[in-house]
């Protein structure tokens, strides 16, 4: 696979330190392809090449089948199209849990081959040693606690976190451990509002919520949910557009034109007078 060529970055390229220090709400969105990244980049602070691409692009039921090669290929495509936002790439299931050494080797590969600025990995206190090992070796890390889709089997489904005292205590411990280990920000997914608010109030690094209320320091959504491309989006995901019927109508019109021999018209044909 071709190595990333950094090229010339724009003057207003944000860095992980800008994200760590910002006082304004952090705008984060997923992107998986060059075209979408180009449209997203000017408007957001952080682009996450999430392993949600397993569902959004590949038609998997969960994120578990996503591979390191997929993340690198999509990460590189996004990096090539982003000149403003920080690009972070998800470490997929099985690529970092075995040991801090395994995580570093794979995270360095993701950074080297995609050109991304940071990686994200799921896990709380149990991943603190790994996060520390990565950050001490020059790999910026975005944490991810709360509902962790890679642990869907272990968690017994996509369940809201923070509903009982044990869960609340664990979430606080996780957030503190991940921040102390050196993460520059922490995604909090699928937790009740009061927990997200309390963690955000004391966290030494910004929190980025998804299904965790407006009490976080920033928000992230899956782009397909926002654009109306997900058949059954989660309740927390606001649809800012309804692109599915737009695409369906366009394809239907094309199919009708081809069948009626209306397309291609003279203006689409080489060698015709007005081509
Ligand atoms: O994979 C992903 O897109 C994510 C976000 C939902 C935070 O992890």
> According to the model, what pLDDT value does residue 5 have?
44
> According to the model, what pLDDT value does residue 274 have?
57
Q: What is the number of the ligand 1 atom nearest to the C-alpha of 48?
A: 3
- Is 189 known to be catalytic? yes
Ligand 1 center from residue 263 Cα (angstroms): 40
- Closest protein CA for atom 1 of ligand 1: 50
Q: Which fold has domain 16-243?
A: TIM Barrel (3.20.20)
- Closest protein CA for atom 3 of ligand 1: 50
Query: Within 6 Å (CB) of ligand 1, which residues are found?
Result: 30, 48, 50-52, 90, 144, 187, 189, 210, 220, 222
Q: What is the number of the ligand 1 atom nearest to the C-alpha of 122?
A: 8
The answer for residues whose C-beta is within 8 angstroms of residue 122's C-beta and 6 or more apart is: 144, 145, 148, 149, 150, 151
> According to the model, what pLDDT value does residue 10 have?
57
User: In this structure, are residues 222 and 239 in contact, taking their beta carbons and an 8 Å threshold?
Assistant: no
> According to the model, what pLDDT value does residue 184 have?
98
Task: Label residues 50-68 b or e (16+ Cβ within 10 Å = b).
Answer: bbbbbbbeeeeeebbebeb
Which residue in the list 180, 189, 193, 267 is annotated as catalytic?
189
User: In this structure, are residues 44 and 27 in contact, taking their beta carbons and an 8 Å threshold?
Assistant: yes
Residue ranges of the chain with per-residue pLDDT less than 50:
1-8
> According to the model, what pLDDT value does residue 4 have?
41
Indicate yes or no: pTM above 0.75.
Answer: yes
> According to the model, what pLDDT value does residue 273 have?
64
- Closest protein CA for atom 2 of ligand 1: 50
Q: What is the number of the ligand 1 atom nearest to the C-alpha of 120?
A: 8
> According to the model, what pLDDT value does residue 155 have?
85
- Closest protein CA for atom 5 of ligand 1: 50
> According to the model, what pLDDT value does residue 3 have?
40
Q: What tokens does 98 get?
A: 């075995």
* Positive or negative: CA dihedral 189, 190, 191, 197: positive
């Amino acid at each position: 696979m071709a190595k990333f060529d950094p090229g010339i970055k724009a003057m207003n390229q944000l860095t992980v330190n800008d994200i760590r220090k910002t006082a304004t709400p952090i705008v984060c969105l997923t992107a998986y392809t060059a075209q979408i990244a180009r449209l997203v980049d000017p408007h957001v602070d952080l682009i996450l090449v999430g392993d949600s691409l397993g569902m959004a692009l590949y038609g998997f039921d969960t994120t578990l089948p996503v591979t390191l090669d997929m993340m690198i290929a999509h990460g590189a495509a996004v990096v090539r199209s982003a000149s403003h936002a920080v690009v972070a790439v998800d470490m997929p299931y099985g690529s970092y849990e075995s040991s801090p050494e395994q995580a570093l080797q794979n995270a360095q590969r993701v950074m080297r081959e995609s050109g991304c600025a940071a990686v994200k990995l799921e896990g709380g206190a149990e991943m603190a040693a790994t996060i520390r090992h990565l950050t001490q070796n020059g790999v910026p890390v975005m944490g991810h606690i709360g509902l962790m889709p890679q642990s869907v089997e272990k968690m017994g489904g996509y369940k809201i976190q923070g509903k009982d005292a044990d869960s609340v205590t664990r979430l606080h411990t996780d957030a503190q451990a991940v921040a102390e280990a050196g993460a520059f920000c922490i995604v909090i997914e699928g937790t009740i509002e009061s927990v997200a608010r309390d963690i955000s109030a004391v966290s030494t690094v910004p929190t980025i919520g998804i299904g965790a209320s407006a009490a976080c320091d920033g928000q992230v959504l899956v782009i397909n949910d926002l654009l109306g491309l997900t058949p059954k989006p989660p309740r927390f995901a606001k649809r800012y557009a309804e692109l599915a019927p737009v695409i369906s109508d366009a394809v239907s019109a094309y199919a009708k034109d081809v069948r009626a021999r209306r397309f291609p018209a003279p203006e689409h044909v080489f060698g015709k007078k007005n081509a």
